[in-house]
Amino acid sequence: MKSKIFKIASGLTAISLAVVRSAGANTGASGTFSVGAIVNLIVLVCAVIGLLWGIKVLSLVKGGLMSKGWQMFILGFGFLILAELVILAGKFHLAGVPDEIPAILYLLMAATWLAGINQTRKVLE
């Protein structure tokens, strides 16, 4: 299972590096992406995968006791995706966004994940 996840992650990284370069984004003076932008792209891809897996698990629990916890996890992944999109929009000069917005979204992400963990703990006790 771990090797399959590693293969998927490395493949997505290679594809994202190849595709994003040809997207006409602002790559800076040297024509290459910064390491920070690449890391943000990888985190964005992982967050989307986490969101999709969370939705799949939520559909499996079908309104049971674990449903509320998984809804919180999915909401947290949504906040993470929004934060990464805002950061990337700022790095590629697509939008002028204050630096506080991603920090607030990260805080909301952490709060919803903690609430999901707490809800899951209550159900499992």
Q: Answer whether residue 23 is part of any domain.
A: no
The DSSP secondary-structure symbol of 27 reads -
Q: Answer whether residue 27 is part of any domain.
A: no
Residue 52: count other Cβ atoms within 10 Å of its Cβ.
12
Q: Answer whether residue 9 is part of any domain.
A: no
Per-residue pLDDT tens for 1-52? Answer: 656 666 666 666 666 555 554 455 555 555 566 888 889 999 999 999 999 9
Q: Answer whether residue 20 is part of any domain.
A: no
Domain around 57: 34-124
Give the C-alpha separation, 41 to 38, whole Å.
5
- The reported pLDDT for the residue numbered 20 is 52
Residue in the block written with tokens 């607030």: 104
Q: Answer whether residue 25 is part of any domain.
A: no
Residue in the block written with tokens 């609430």: 115
Q: What is the dihedral of CA 34, 93, 25, 39, to 10 degrees?
A: 30
Q: Look over the chain and give the mean of its residue pLDDT values, rounded to a whole number.
A: 82
Give the C-alpha separation, 35 to 27, whole Å.
11
- The reported pLDDT for the residue numbered 26 is 56
Q: Answer whether residue 10 is part of any domain.
A: no
Give the C-alpha separation, 22 to 83, whole Å.
23
Q: What is the dihedral of CA 77, 48, 7, 15, to 10 degrees?
A: -140
Per-residue pLDDT tens for 62-118? Answer: 878 888 899 999 999 999 999 999 999 888 888 888 889 999 999 999 999 999 999
Report residue 44 as tokens: 């964005």
- The reported pLDDT for the residue numbered 3 is 67
pTM of the model: 0.72
- The reported pLDDT for the residue numbered 11 is 66
Number of domains, the chain: 1
